[in-house]
Structure 1
Amino acid sequence: MSSPPVIASPPPFPSSLPDGFSIPSDPSAGDPCHFDASKHLALSNPEYIVTLDFQKVPFSPTHASFDPANPHPRLAFTAPFRVLSDEGVAVARQIMDRQAKACPQIMQSDDRTPLCLRGLGYTSPFIRHLNEHTSLTSHLSRLASDPVCAHPMVLNYGQINVGAVGADKPVDAWHFDSVDYVLVVMLSDTREMQGGELQVLMKGKESAIGTLEDTGGMVKEEDLLTVKYPGPGWAIFMQGSSMLHHVTPVLTSPHPRTSLINSYTSRCLTFRDRTSAKVFLDGDPSHVAPGEYARYKAWRARAWLEDVVGGVWGVGEGDFAPKRGGEGRERQPGAGAGARASSDEAKQLALQHMRRAIAELEHGVEVLEGTREDVVGYWDEVAGVWKREIRVGVGEGTAGEGRLGRDVVGSRAVALGGRKSERASNELDV
């Protein structure tokens, strides 16, 4: 007996803020205005999407709905499309400037990114409401053919990356993302910028790392797809957890390359959990990251249990259907006549849901305890090897009784042996 996919409702925002991540009380340091979708969004459709088998397909909203009977997110990445209006871009830039001065604890750097502001989902209501707004999440869900929501780990809500100008290294190294989807919104004016383009390696996840190792990172042009942002406010939405990508060096530009990166996750729990916690547990504040990851896994487990609480009566697929908007499931009166399952099938369906909830929690416990490997890694352009960890530095702010920031630590990077796939390490044992 098959069952429809479990669609989790978006989680509520945390009821309290972690130490060190308060909203600035000084009006000159906080958001310049409230988020208003009618003013700050300018959503458009991309000309095309690129699928996971690297086929360029013209985008049509009529063909982009989520199919519960055949759930399969086909999106690799979109062509550029407009997200923020000119006014929205201006506000985001103001928030970046103000928060960098008022909240130094949210500033980080690592081997991949020379400077980023991380934690704006907590300190900026504008960024929070931008991430969560239904007009944006619905638009992204259509692009992905997958119901998405802002990632429950709030530190991922809105990260601003600042890429330096210079040909010595890429803005971001070859990597897989540690969350399902990212929306990368350009805040810089790229019309006077040479470089700073997204490049995708057209290889499957398991063979992509091997390609870098075989070529020393000198990938052939015919194996690459390159996308340039037309200007500020334009974005690319990608399933970065499933494809290897990087951002080319900014060769010339009157200003650094600045982008706003919002993270999203699928609400369809039929799909494998694609969040890898290692980079967050190592790089984010130690009093925040474990709790955020535990909250994320609890959200996934709760959705499986809510499906049981709602009534797994052993009925056929016709008796249950996604609610309008895809949140939860409801009984359709009179539907599924004659499709009623046996009592054993009903029991097995209930057991399946309960086991999935347990597996989600056990997986989270093992990751937090360090007994399960949960690593994505990145390509070190200097050493010419795939590395499993990065050196992380955090701002100098204080939080509660202890210092929130951490000095840049010594390198913990270890080269991957061979071409081991990271996929299996993050799968649930069900």
Structure 2
Amino acid sequence: MTAPVPDVVLREYGPAVSVPLAAAAGRALAASGALQSVTPDPAQDGHWLLRAGSRVGALRTTGGPVVRILPKTPVSRIFFLLGFSLDPERAWRDGREDTVDTGVYDDVVPALAHAVERRIDAALRQGVLQGYRAVEESSLVVRGRIREADQIRRHFGRTPPVEIAYDTYTADTAENRILRGAVERLLRLPGVPGPVRRRLAHQRVRLADALPLVRGQELPRWQPSRLNSRYQPALRLCEAVLRGSSPEHRPPGADPLTVDGFLFDMNQLFEDFVTVALSTALKELGLAPRPQDSQHLDTAGLVRIRPDLVVRSRDGRTPVAVVDAKYKVENGDGHHSADLYQALAYATVLGLREAHLVYAAGRLPTRFHEVRGTAVGAARGVRLYRHSVDLSGEPGQLMSALRDLAGRLARACSPA
């Protein structure tokens, strides 16, 4: 009996780990782009050096080990950031850490699977949502109305079969297909605990009347309404699962191996959290935040720049502040030259006297750099501010820090 292959444990932005891997499995991992680096180990034949970057979660190659990437940030905090980005109004109002229920799990994939199953169970507690769907088909009996043009074109007026169209009341709705798709995605992931896997399988049975999603096609579209309000928390989380950073990669060539798993990109998650939280607070202060407000660096319009957040005046016309989020801990000497150059470019293009960088850098005081050669007369030069957000803090502290920053931005752009 073949012994099970032990899991490989990496840490977010941690040191490289030497792992015994078949050459095909190593190439598949490298081609997936899921890790920061995957290279043959020059010190040991048959070993590969694996190093994780900003993505956390779990993945595996066919027949290879499960690679688990542990985050620096507590898992409960990661899911608070995710829950806030998915449903900012509730999270901002309640300030609760359990916006996404992760149960007792402190690893990303088990916590995600538990959270999705709990939300689906809550959505289905009053029964499976049904709705009307338009159907066009050939039938031996008449139901609904006859599609006369199709009947003549396809059957030359003969019957049966009959080309008909009708509305059917069914559980095969966009909402149920999304829930079922997320359940099936999670059941394929490595590292889902047995009890959670059994509950997910039970939810799949409850959603059996919904057609499975076709891989590669766009997700079905749904519209929030009073009828599907109980589904909406589950739908938002399930869409995050289906649209998330989930490598399913087959490298070119003859190798039949695949890489499958689920990974959160902490860079994107932090950027989304900062952008959504600041946007929510700034709207309350009467300003018009514009996430990913695209601009051009040059007059010819050839070089595009995209700040994470441009804050505009109430009418949405005049830029009054610019913010960029950086999921990285600042070096001891505080030098992040590329970030400062980027912030200066944003300020210059938008005609602003200051720009703001927000780091996931723990409890550090706000600092600024005044750019030489930008002062005009009595006016001070352009200032580049560096703020920090402590992701190890409680949710209320995180939101308080971003409320304070929103207030600072609002005061800075108010007329003297």
Q: Is this a same-fold pair by TM over 0.5?
A: no
TM-score (norm 2): 0.22
More helix by share: 2
Q: Give TM-score scaled by structure 1 length.
A: 0.22
Name which structure has the greater RCO, CA cutoff 8 Å, separation 6+: 1
